[in-house]
């Protein structure tokens, strides 16, 4: 379990979220996240936690990118996803629509199914889904039904992304973060389609 996950779990146990409890972690000068000496005050603690969260998002998005590259090697549209629960990857997946001859076999759908199986339950209320491209409406619906706590995506999808057609599709409690390693994710898609056109 990562340091951030331990801290986050402790805050949740205490009934606090990052917004109200996380900012108090550095009040006494030593950060509870990493033990380093920090400037006292709410602002210092909150910024430190935000930096840790950004680093974790980047790390897990790199794992999703690895899945996307694997999809591209198989001739699939290069979209990859990972599901993280309490700081640990519980599912990895990539597009399999061509392999399975199944239009619903998107990376997100595969990842949600694998995560539910690994965790032994259909709801992913303690999980974050990292996906390299903004989900489509179908996948957004599945994310909502699974009650995923947090969605982090890389590149926006202006043509088929859920935000264009159904911006309210996700569960009301799902937190969304977009644009993590967006350039890397978008470049992978552009390269794939450029090669396919020639």
Write down the pLDDT at residue 161. 97
106 or 15: which leads in pLDDT: 106
For 194, list phi and psi in degrees, rounded to 5.
Answer: -65, -40
pTM score above 0.85: no
Write down the pLDDT at residue 52. 82
22 or 128: which leads in pLDDT: 128
Write down the pLDDT at residue 23. 40
- Radius of gyration of the CA atoms of the chain, in A: 18
Question: What does the mean pLDDT of the chain come to?
Answer: 85
17 pLDDT band, cuts 50/70/90, is very low
Lowest mean pLDDT among 2-11, 12-21, 98-107, 171-180: 12-21
**Candidates 108, 158, 177, 187; catalytic one:** 108
Average pLDDT over residues 27-35: 50
Cα 81 to Cα 123: distance, rounded to the nearest angstrom:
17
**Does 18 score more than 70 pLDDT?**
no
Write down the pLDDT at residue 35. 54
**Does 162 score more than 90 pLDDT?**
yes
**Does 32 score more than 80 pLDDT?**
no
Lowest mean pLDDT among 4-18, 76-90, 126-140, 181-195: 4-18
Asked about 108 being catalytic, the answer comes back as yes
3-state secondary structure the chain: CCHHHHHHHHHHHCCCCCCCCHHHCCCCCECCCCCCECCCCHHHHHHHHHHHHHHHHHHHHHHHHHHHHHHHHCCCCCCEEEEEECCEEEEEEECCHHHHCCCCCCHHHHHHHHHHHHHCCCCCCCEEEEEEECCCHHHHHHHHHCCCCEEEEEECCCCCCHHHHCCCCCCCCCEEEECCCHHHHHHHHHHHHHHHHC
| 25 dihedral zone (left: phi>0; alpha: psi -120 to 50; beta) | alpha
Q: 110-128 pLDDT, tens per residue?
A: 999 999 999 999 999 999 9
């Amino acid at each position: 379990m990562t340091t951030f996950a331990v801290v986050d779990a402790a805050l949740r146990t205490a009934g606090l979220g990052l917004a109200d409890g996380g900012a108090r972690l550095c009040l006494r000068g030593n950060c509870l996240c990493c033990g380093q000496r920090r400037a006292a005050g709410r602002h210092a603690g909150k910024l430190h936690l935000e930096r840790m969260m950004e680093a974790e998002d980047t790390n897990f998005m790199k794992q999703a990118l690895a899945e996307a590259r694997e999809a591209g090697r198989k001739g699939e549209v290069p979209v990859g996803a990972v599901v993280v629960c309490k700081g640990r990857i519980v599912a990895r997946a990539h597009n399999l629509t061509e392999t399975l001859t199944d239009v619903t076999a998107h990376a997100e759908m595969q990842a949600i199914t694998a995560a539910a199986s690994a965790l032994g339950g259909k709801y992913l209320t303690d999980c974050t889904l990292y996906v390299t491209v903004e989900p489509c409406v179908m996948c957004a619906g599945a994310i909502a039904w699974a009650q995923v706590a947090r969605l982090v995506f890389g590149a926006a999808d202006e043509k088929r992304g859920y935000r264009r057609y159904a911006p309210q599709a996700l569960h009301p409690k799902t937190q969304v973060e977009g644009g993590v390693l967006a350039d890397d994710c978008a470049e992978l898609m552009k390269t794939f389609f450029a090669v396919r056109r020639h």
